[in-house]
Structure 1
Amino acid sequence: MNLLQKVLHHPFFIRLFNWEYWSFGTVYTPVIPIWLWYCLRARSFFFFSASNPSIENGGFLMESKKKIYDLIPEAYYPKTIYVELPADPQNVVNQVKNKGLQYPLIAKPDIGARGMGVRKLNQPEDLQRYCLESPLAFLVQEYADLPLEAGIFYCRLPGEKKGRITGIVTKEFLTVYGDGRHTIRELCQQDKRFILQLTALEKMHGDKLNEVLPSGIAKELVPYGNHARGAKFIDDSHRASPALEMQIDKILQQVTGFYYGRMDIRFRSWEELEQGLHFSIIELNGAGSEPTHMYDPRHSIFFAWKEIIRHWDWCYRISKINHRKGIPYMSFRDGRKMFRENAQFEKTIAQLYI
């Protein structure tokens, strides 16, 4: 690797020259005047709270994943249990067994923060350890062992008979392919996306990163489709066929009071998803959802700003109609409280979780 390559593979320059790794503030600050314009038109800084009346804060911040799952038909998402603190490890193991959950499992905080605290549990001992380490109420659910994962953004104006898909992102998990010569760590050091995850991968895998994979053998290093955990996001919005849109609309119209947000879903094939077959909803996100298809490396920051504003417009229009129907906007006092609580929550969770 020559000097220029070494410079371009330094984390600072990776972030500098690839906008998808910029901080939230860096990406969003230039378009804040547009957001303030919507606030002025709505006469509320927190109009978004009316976008999804059945979800806390409209699903913008600090919403409970359990309460959202409770809105979804059980057949559509993995078997799940909710664990409050203090969590007795053996009792939780017994709950898992009694409910018929099968390993591997996924554990995650009930209130999410960019994928932090999400872990794959392969055996009861892993679950017991998570119970002892988790400082927050959490969910345990079966791992949806389906080969494809996508985030599908959905919008429906209140009163409309049919909603629409406004974006689709598919996800490539952080996976290395062996060459029979280099260790996993060395393979990671050759790819910019992996370099930014090395610290977290060291914590997750330790000495296993010194393993040399046989040629052609793949190893998935992070089993979560989260951008902050290294997944590559690909814009597949062109897959929004009439058949797929009909199925997604059919599914989400069964979630009372849901009009705006992104559904993260695992499934076996696009053809079967169009028929409503072999899928599992991993998460349903509300007003705080990003149009994550914008993070496709092929897109520019200007494309991202266009998509952000386009979806803000949907959120504004939906919230305005719900408000006219009697759904109140969050008060300024409650909105400030929500942001303060979220700031403290993110500070805490960042110190405790990978």
Structure 2
Amino acid sequence: MKKAKLFLHKLFHWEYWPYQVVYFPVYFQYLFYVLKTRSFFYFNAVNPTIKNGGFFMESKKEIYDLIPQEYYPTTILIEPNEKIEYILNKINEAAIEFPLIVKPDIGLRGTAVKKIHNANELEAYFSKANFTVLIQSLIPFKNEIGLFYVKLPNQPGKITGIVSKEFMILKGNGKNTIRELIHQNNRYLMQLDALEMEYQEKLNTILPNGETINLVPYGNHCRGTKFVDASFEITLEMEKTFNSICNQINGFYYGRMDIMFESFEDLAKGKKFKIVEINGAISEPTQIYDPKHSLWFGWKELTRHFHYMYLISKHNHNNGAKYLSFSEGVTEFKKHNKHYNTILDF
């Protein structure tokens, strides 16, 4: 029954369709640009200071190092196999307090991102992590968006879309267990297997009336977050603010900035916000996944942004940025697949 219910939900909501289907028209566009640039990996030049343009195998820590420190949370990098005493010492030196966030330095759609509440949880995480990890202070702001920024050749930068994120928040009624409440929402139900691993017996707890719980406090679509198109919040003031910010990030021309913030009014003024991370060439204009949008709308936005990436890459290449050679690109892609399997095994 559960499988049939979820199958029908996926069938009638294209946001869950395989990316091979969603990106079907983009493949032809990509091949056209390959012919024009004579490079299968032309997109490497879209953000020259970010490894592979931000398409694969890019280090989040190296990207943070490009950003003025006041715009992102306190962050430290921990190599694999470090002892817990060393890790706790580094946390104390950086003045990071529990709860905190841990995530892979080279990430994959929110996999292995965890909110850690104490030293025991931290030790358990690092006992399994065989990859480089970032530890970050918890950002205090309540709202999260993805803001897509594009700086076309010889033009000021612009915000091409904003996606707001509705987290998996359950509200108790004093009667149903957390598990039963999850079954009442198809979006949440699709995450049940992962939630069972995370919460185990806690899912059988009855949530008191009016009490809420954020099941997955990370704004990632594949982990249950609902994406809502908030592009109507874009203002001239906000674009001016983010042009000023992005002009301070050397070599950043194209990508999505995931941001936590207090209010859109403050954000437009450049106040009370932090950049969670910046995604480069691999970025999607994720406002397309708002359930109100049609597949046709999604295709138009994807092809529009792919065209922007081509124009920027070509311009940067003409100014000295290199395209990856075919052999270099294949090597990087193999590294990506290997790392992907490592993260999935976490």
Give me the TM-score of the superposition, normalised by structure 1: 0.95
Counterpart Cα distance in 1 of 2:2 and 2:50: 46
Counterpart Cα distance in 2 of 1:159 and 1:92: 46
2:243 corresponds to: 249
Counterpart Cα distance in 2 of 1:8 and 1:18: 15
Counterpart Cα distance in 1 of 2:69 and 2:26: 39
1:9 Cα deviation after fit:
6.2
Larger mean Cα displacement after TM superposition, 13-22 or 307-316? 13-22
1:284 Cα deviation after fit:
0.6
2:92 corresponds to: 97
Map residues 59-138 of structure 1 onto 2, 5 A cutoff.
Answer: 59-138=54-133
Aligned residue identity for 1:58: G
Aligned residue identity for 1:137: T
1:315 Cα deviation after fit:
0.3
SS at match of 1:288: coil
1:240 corresponds to: 234
Aligned residue identity for 1:18: H
- Please, which of 317, 321, 346 is the counterpart of residue 340 of structure 2? 346
2:198 corresponds to: 204
1:97 Cα deviation after fit:
0.8
Aligned residue identity for 1:37: F
2:48 corresponds to: 53
Aligned residue identity for 2:221: H
Count of residues in Structure 1 that have an aligned counterpart in Structure 2: 346
- Please, which of 32, 36, 39 is the counterpart of residue 31 of structure 2? 36
Check conservation: 1:265, 1:283, Cα contact below 8 A. Answer: yes
Map residues 275-290 of structure 1 onto 2, 5 A cutoff.
Answer: 275-290=269-284
Counterpart Cα distance in 2 of 1:155 and 1:240: 14
2:223 corresponds to: 229
RMSD: 1.3
Shift in CA distance, 9/195, structure 1 to aligned 2, threshold 3 Å = farther
Check conservation: 2:143, 2:263, Cα contact below 8 A. Answer: yes
- After superposition, give the CA deviation of every residue in 1:131-162 in whole Å (9 maximum; x if it has no partner): 211110110001112111000000002443x2
Larger mean Cα displacement after TM superposition, 13-22 or 49-58? 13-22
- Please, which of 1, 4, 21 is the counterpart of residue 26 of structure 1? 21
Check conservation: 2:153, 2:311, Cα contact below 8 A. Answer: no
Check conservation: 2:281, 2:309, Cα contact below 8 A. Answer: yes
Give me the TM-score of the superposition, normalised by structure 2: 0.97
Counterpart Cα distance in 2 of 1:259 and 1:113: 22
1:7 Cα deviation after fit:
7.3
Aligned residue identity for 1:35: Y
- After superposition, give the CA deviation of every residue in 1:183-229 in whole Å (9 maximum; x if it has no partner): 11001011110111000000111111111112222110001000011
1:321 Cα deviation after fit:
0.5
Shift in CA distance, 116/216, structure 1 to aligned 2, threshold 3 Å = same
Larger mean Cα displacement after TM superposition, 85-94 or 24-33? 24-33
1:345 Cα deviation after fit:
1.8
Matched, 1:219 2:182: no
1:141 corresponds to: 136
SS at match of 1:248: helix
1:342 Cα deviation after fit:
1.4
- Please, which of 265, 287, 295 is the counterpart of residue 301 of structure 1? 295
Matched, 1:17 2:2: no
Counterpart Cα distance in 1 of 2:189 and 2:309: 36
1:182 corresponds to: 176
1:88 Cα deviation after fit:
1.0
Aligned residue identity for 2:60: K
Counterpart Cα distance in 2 of 1:351 and 1:100: 31
Counterpart Cα distance in 2 of 1:9 and 1:293: 28
1:39 Cα deviation after fit:
1.5
1:271 corresponds to: 265
1:347 Cα deviation after fit:
2.2
Aligned residue identity for 1:164: K
Counterpart Cα distance in 2 of 1:108 and 1:9: 34
Larger mean Cα displacement after TM superposition, 53-62 or 98-107? 98-107
